[in-house]
Homo-oligomer: A and B are copies of this chain.
Amino acid sequence: MQRNGQALLDAAAEVFARSGVGAPVREVAAAAGVGVATLYRHFPTRSDLVVAVYRHQIDGLAASGPALLASEPTPFTAVLRWVHEFVDFLGTKHGLARVWDGDAAGFTALHTLFVDRLVPVLADLLAAARGSGDVVAEVTPYQLLRAVGDLVAFAPGDPDHDARRMVTLLVTGLRQEQPLIRPA
């Protein structure tokens, strides 16, 4: 990860924020003041680049879980706060939601990263909150993580859409037994 490597990461972060994670490769290379081939050398697939760009923040999120568990008054508020940190992270990334899309070429690695790094953290948080009796609904950490991700999808540009509120709603739902719904 030499000089060009970092320049590419910075450029990619900026371009992804502006034009989405699916932005043209050349745009990123250009923004980094680097030839396309250099980009390909450092990050053979788009996935690699995306992961590299976000790894730091994801690490931060991972670290934040235990910290919140220690500092928050209850495990439930820890869950709530952590989930909102995840929202903060996703919120600035235009179109990052496609990560969950199986098809979406080039997001597999990020998907994996989410699962590897964040799911365990959320699992611990949820377990604790379940232990304290606050969370009763049956959900897997993966499901919740993904649901939050979906709620933030494409948020920018729609002033009527309040992702934060929706996520809170979702987490609040965890406190109750879920009614059974069967297709009529």
Interface on A for B, CB 8 Å cutoff? Answer: 20, 77, 80-81, 84-85, 88, 94-95, 97-98, 100-103, 137-140, 142-144, 146-147, 150-154, 156-158, 160-162, 164-166, 168-176, 178-179, 181, 183-184
B100 touches A161 (CB 8 A): yes
B181 touches A168 (CB 8 A): yes
Once A137-B172, A161-B143, A178-B169 are accepted as A-B contacts, the answer to whether A151 and B150 lie under 8 Å apart by CB is: yes
Given contacts A143-B166, A169-B173, list 12 more A-B pairs with CB under 8 A.
A81-B184, A97-B150, A98-B154, A137-B169, A137-B172, A139-B166, A142-B161, A150-B150, A164-B181, A172-B172, A172-B179, A173-B173
B165 touches A176 (CB 8 A): no
A175 touches B176 (CB 8 A): yes
